[in-house]
Amino acid sequence: MRFWPGPLLAGFVVAATLAGPALARKPQQFTEPRRMTEEEIEAAKKKSKSPVHDFGIELSEPEKRFPWLGVSLGVLCLLIAAPFAVRAYRQASKEISGASTFGSAGRKKDDEEEAA
């Protein structure tokens, strides 16, 4: 048997409609917030219009420090990667030197074989 939530939803709507006005309360005492006087309003306006800094004053920039952390991390990465790069270079140069290539070296071998 399938549950149909329609009657349950309708019951909640009716209960909320009937119970809403009974549970609502009117404010017992309401105190207005304190109003600012004219002098306080004028002082606030003048304060908000003041510049952040005077243009006649020369501002000094903070001294920039050398980025030791970035440099040291870069050097560390190079030190870690260098042995792998050297090993890969040696393997590649060994493979290339052993391979027969186009060019004069290959022709010399062919010429020697034909002469023999």
Q: Angle at the Cα of 16 (from 11 to 20), degrees rounded to 5? A: 160
Q: Which residues are within 8 A (CB) of 88 and not within 5 positions of it... i.e. 6 or more apart? A: none
| The pLDDT of residue 60 is above 90 | no
The model's pTM is 0.36
Q: Of 62 and 82, which is predicted with more confidence?
A: 82
pLDDT (mean) for 94-99: 83
Look up residue 63 and give its DSSP letter: P
pLDDT at 78: 97
Helices (H), 24-101: 38-49, 68-98
Task: Tell me how far apart the alpha carbons of residues 104 and 110 are, in angstroms, rounded to a whole number.
Answer: 10
